[in-house]
Structure 1
Amino acid sequence: MFPKPVPLLHTNTYGYETLPMVKPTGFREYDARWLFEKEINLMGVQALGMGLGALIRGMGVKPEIVTGHDFRGYSSAIKMALINGLMAAGCRVHDIGLALSPMAYFAQFELDVPCVAMVTASHNDNGWTGVKMGAQRPVTFGPDEMSRLKEIVLSGAYETREGGSYNFVENFPERYIADLTTRSPIKRKLKVVAACGNGTAGAFAPQILERLGVEVIPLDVELDHTFPRYNPNPEDMEMLHAMAHAVKEHGADVGLGFDGDGDRCGVVDNEGEEIFADKIGVMLARDLSALHPGATFVVDVKSTGLFATDPVLQANGVKADYWKTGHSYIKRRVADLKALAGFEKSGHFFFNAPVGRGYDDGLVTAIAVLDMLDRNPDKTMADLYRALPKTYGTPTMSPHCADEVKYQVSERVTQRFQAMQAAGEAIAGQPIRDIVTVNGVRVTAQDGTWGLVRASSNKPELVVVIESPVSEARMREMFKAVDGVLRENPEVGAYNQSI
């Protein structure tokens, strides 16, 4: 019988080499993330694989699974430990090797395999590892499945089963690349900066874009798991600034940036303006709803209010559904509502047919942006951006808050704003118009200026976003008010970036 995991072991000890270590907080709302060697060891990953195999069987799903790994120095070893556990649990494993997360999701369809386990820490800093999992394509696990998996793994409620096997799928990336590029080329002559932050997308994004017929300016595409310049996260200003500089230096038509596992895309326009992903979502919704009037779009609560108020979207009969932040939440909501697409401010975009298969893929998003430019040959990316109603928003800002307390802090902040509203108190000098609590708390003042606070689903942080349709000054006033409430909680630390 494989040992039951323990929450903490120290490296370079007998126990570390003979027992599985799995820190309970690594099981997140919709995937798993740990600091490798500090919060999970290889035997712990093997226990995770055995637990995942037990969960799949318990769900009544065929025990057959696709695996892949991102380009970090330890990801391949972690994947093999996971595979050992899956095979011990009787699963048939199809290993596609070094891959993007959307490549693994594509493999579920291409190989006709029901389950997926992609080893990646996505955009998290070096030292982190994780697994994105699913057993019902195209959606991935949500809180119910993750809670059950946590219970199985931590209690050691797994067992060895017969029938496990391993198959390495040779040259699978070419099948993914062919799927995205077997189509009409982009007719418009475009010069595109492809920024990959030295992450996994560097191995695939440039050649995909080139096959579509655009001129590619590669930026940080050499694979380097130390991430020497910046973390590959197109929501971070450091990466966006690098993209903007490259766009202006090379006179590019657009900059496209991809995160560490290639399921997100960030955009910079031809004038070097860094466009937050929710505004890109509004631009794509405008473009797609002209082709599909009356379409439904799902957006996360961090996103701009323009999805509900933009006159072009209203004229096209668009229905906007604001939902919980998180790739699994939005992905499932898009599937449930049969929406045309779903947009997250983080850059996770989900396109249903005829654009995509429902899962998040940064390259599919990039292609949608290029198609939008192709359909508007007399307009630049900056023209399309300027055509949106002006709002003033912050980047996503994340003050540190320990995993063990972040949800309690988020709830206290929610209750504080609700108490202010009940008492008739003002927020940033104005009455509170409404409060939305579908995911954390989004508090809106009378003039439409709003602030969001929620607990991060995958890091020891809170998430703060502010937007005003009125002015930058009002946006800053709201940030000051929201931050003031946050600072009533001593567990809240410094921001990763701020205005």
Structure 2
Amino acid sequence: MSAPQTQSARPEAVEEKDVHVSRSMFRAYDIRGVLGKTLNADVARLIGRAIGSEMASRGLSTIAVGRDGRLSGPSLSAALIEGLRASGAHVTDIGAAPTPVLYFATHHLELGSGVMVTGSHNPPDYNGFKIVLGGETLAEDAIQKLYTRIVEKDFTSGAGMLEKRDLSQDYIERIAGDVRLHRPLKIVIDCGNGIPGAIAPQLFERIGADVVPLFCEVDGNFPNHHPDPSDLHNLEDLILTVKQIKADLGIAFDGDGDRLGVVTPAGEVIFPDRTLMLFAQDVLSRNPGATIIYDVKCTGKLAPVIEAAGGTPLMWRTGHSLIKGKMRETGSALAGEMSGHFFFKERWYGFDDGLYAGARLLEILSGDAQQRMPQEVFESLPNSVSTPELKIELAEGEHYKFIERFQKEAKFEGAHINTIDGVRADWPDGWGLVRASNTTPVLVLRFDAENMEALKRVQNVFRAQLLTINPKLKLPF
């Protein structure tokens, strides 16, 4: 580990340029843009100025910065750090690392704040920023406030110091000190050429797994498939390899490592809401009565599993920052999202971490009290007939307007309606959801029911209501 290096900061260089910063980049959970269109080094520098100035207003002075494996990462990260230091923030640069390692750095080094330069699971020409200040993951109004600072040039000035540290080994050792397999399991790890590939094979070997790596070479072009395990097409190579080598499990990570995908030995994809059932049962065995949070896209089978295990289920809005905020508010021990984000507060720090979640899953499967094989454990979970996430693309901003009308005008006879995030209609034998994505201009839909007949009925009701609002919608079901 290198010692802190003090370098001169240059706040005046920023104000000399008149840089256009697009409001569209400032989203509900993070900031993201397209290289050469809305995002470049000058924009990243200004974002650094805004974050550093917001830190100063909150009495914060230290922050960690990391970046994923995208080709634009080094230049954007360097510019962001310049901006942070020009506003007086002292920066610890952890270099290229998965997002959970950046979150870990904020706790392990007691910095409290961090910025991850990541495009997550978006195409190669995207990049963005996930921001934690004083332990709070910025969302919604707090992110808009950064945009306002940039527009109004409301910046503090200073000369922050820079320290470079590699925390990969600290992260691996922290997990290995907590999670151990009860018996060796053979696993295939598909990193889709994202940054998790830099540490995932070593981490899982360290906790006692027999690892077969797949696409673990970090390559920001993503030459094999997109690093997004929520899209079933991206799991085809993993499914094939798991079946070919007769592995006990297949796991996949997204581009920055905060999401987990799971494939059984039979090649079945386990949706994250069912994986959360296993995690909930495990956590509740040691923490009876704990609150378990899940997002509006999760199966109706989940809440009864949580209750049967002695827990308190709580449905909340989709989005990693919104879920983390609700966890802090409620003291929740565990949370999960249908997209594959899992948040362990028990034995961990409460941030979303696909790598740690994968380790906890292996611990559960290797230590099953009835000594069942992983396939049997998954088969024991309640199942339903469900769709993956379905998407309808609309023009920028139109998806929000659509949901506003849908909430007012749609009619769902005999259903329990939840509008915390879009519209979710629950009947005794199934449910449907339509919500506006906060990351791209799309409507997100999901349907889940006891059987195919009930699923079709729920879809028909939603189809009629959707087309009543907009007859031109191209429905994906």
TM range (shorter): over 0.9
1:166 aligns with 2:146: no
What is residue 348 of structure 1 aligned with on the other side?
Answer: 341
In the TM superposition, what are the counterparts of 1:302-313 in structure 2 within 5 Å? 302-310=297-305, 313=306
How much has 1:48 moved relative to structure 2? 0.9
- Inter-CA distance 458–282: structure 2 relative to 1 (3 Å threshold): same
Q: Which digits, 9 at most, give the CA deviation of each residue in 1:348-394, with x for residues without a partner?
A: 1111132x111111111001101111221621222122212221111
What is residue 63 of structure 2 aligned with on the other side?
Answer: 65
How much has 1:416 moved relative to structure 2? 2.5
Is the Cα–Cα contact under 8 Å of residues 32 and 458 in structure 1 kept in the other structure?
no
Amino acid at match of 1:251: K
1:49 aligns with 2:56: no
- Of the three residues 441, 455, 460, the one matched with 2:441 is 460
Tell me, in whole angstroms, the C-alpha distance in 2 between the residues paired with 1:273 and 1:120.
Answer: 29
What is residue 30 of structure 2 aligned with on the other side?
Answer: 31
Is the Cα–Cα contact under 8 Å of residues 4 and 154 in structure 1 kept in the other structure?
no
Is the Cα–Cα contact under 8 Å of residues 55 and 61 in structure 2 kept in the other structure?
yes
Amino acid at match of 1:279: R
How much has 1:30 moved relative to structure 2? 1.8
Query: What SS does the corresponding residue of 2:223 show, helix, strand or coil?
Result: coil
- Inter-CA distance 102–392: structure 2 relative to 1 (3 Å threshold): same
1:116 aligns with 2:114: yes
Is the Cα–Cα contact under 8 Å of residues 66 and 94 in structure 2 kept in the other structure?
yes
In the TM superposition, what are the counterparts of 1:68-467 in structure 2 within 5 Å? 68-137=66-135, 139-159=136-156, 161-169=157-165, 171-183=166-178, 185-310=180-305, 313-354=306-347, 356-376=348-368, 378-417=371-410, 420-421=411-412, 431-445=413-427, 447-467=428-448
Query: What SS does the corresponding residue of 1:129 show, helix, strand or coil?
Result: strand
Is the Cα–Cα contact under 8 Å of residues 179 and 360 in structure 2 kept in the other structure?
no
Amino acid at match of 2:42: M
Is the Cα–Cα contact under 8 Å of residues 289 and 318 in structure 1 kept in the other structure?
yes
Tell me, in whole angstroms, the C-alpha distance in 1 between the residues paired with 2:395 and 2:201.
Answer: 38
Segments of 5+ residues of structure 1 without an aligned counterpart are 6-17, 422-430
- Inter-CA distance 202–277: structure 2 relative to 1 (3 Å threshold): same
How much has 1:488 moved relative to structure 2? 5.0
Matched residues, percent identical? 32
- With the length of structure 1 as denominator, give the TM-score of the two structures: 0.89
Amino acid at match of 1:329: L
Tell me, in whole angstroms, the C-alpha distance in 2 between the residues paired with 1:389 and 1:405.
Answer: 37
- Inter-CA distance 3–224: structure 2 relative to 1 (3 Å threshold): closer
Query: What SS does the corresponding residue of 2:372 show, helix, strand or coil?
Result: coil
- Inter-CA distance 245–46: structure 2 relative to 1 (3 Å threshold): same
Q: Which digits, 9 at most, give the CA deviation of each residue in 1:262-299, with x for residues without a partner?
A: 01111111211101101100122122222322221011
Tell me, in whole angstroms, the C-alpha distance in 1 between the residues paired with 2:381 and 2:430.
Answer: 17
Tell me, in whole angstroms, the C-alpha distance in 1 between the residues paired with 2:387 and 2:304.
Answer: 19
Comparing 191-200 and 391-400, the one that deviates more: 391-400
How much has 1:178 moved relative to structure 2? 1.5
How much has 1:218 moved relative to structure 2? 0.9
Tell me, in whole angstroms, the C-alpha distance in 1 between the residues paired with 2:114 and 2:455.
Answer: 41
How much has 1:226 moved relative to structure 2? 1.1
Tell me, in whole angstroms, the C-alpha distance in 2 between the residues paired with 1:362 and 1:24.
Answer: 30
The Cα RMSD (Å) is 2.1
Tell me, in whole angstroms, the C-alpha distance in 1 between the residues paired with 2:179 and 2:298.
Answer: 32
Amino acid at match of 1:359: F
- Of the three residues 476, 479, 486, the one matched with 2:459 is 479
Tell me, in whole angstroms, the C-alpha distance in 1 between the residues paired with 2:39 and 2:471.
Answer: 24
Query: What SS does the corresponding residue of 1:20 show, helix, strand or coil?
Result: coil
Is the Cα–Cα contact under 8 Å of residues 233 and 258 in structure 1 kept in the other structure?
yes
Comparing 147-156 and 271-280, the one that deviates more: 147-156
Comparing 388-397 and 84-93, the one that deviates more: 388-397
Is the Cα–Cα contact under 8 Å of residues 402 and 491 in structure 1 kept in the other structure?
no
Tell me, in whole angstroms, the C-alpha distance in 1 between the residues paired with 2:45 and 2:465.
Answer: 42
Amino acid at match of 2:418: V
Aligned residues: 465
How much has 1:403 moved relative to structure 2? 3.1
Is the Cα–Cα contact under 8 Å of residues 394 and 467 in structure 1 kept in the other structure?
yes
Tell me, in whole angstroms, the C-alpha distance in 2 between the residues paired with 1:119 and 1:489.
Answer: 38
Query: What SS does the corresponding residue of 1:399 show, helix, strand or coil?
Result: strand
Is the Cα–Cα contact under 8 Å of residues 246 and 265 in structure 2 kept in the other structure?
yes
Query: What SS does the corresponding residue of 2:38 show, helix, strand or coil?
Result: coil
Amino acid at match of 1:395: P
Is the Cα–Cα contact under 8 Å of residues 198 and 227 in structure 1 kept in the other structure?
yes
Query: What SS does the corresponding residue of 1:398 show, helix, strand or coil?
Result: strand
Is the Cα–Cα contact under 8 Å of residues 179 and 359 in structure 2 kept in the other structure?
no
Is the Cα–Cα contact under 8 Å of residues 385 and 455 in structure 2 kept in the other structure?
yes
How much has 1:480 moved relative to structure 2? 4.3
- Inter-CA distance 215–432: structure 2 relative to 1 (3 Å threshold): same
Amino acid at match of 2:226: N
Amino acid at match of 2:160: G
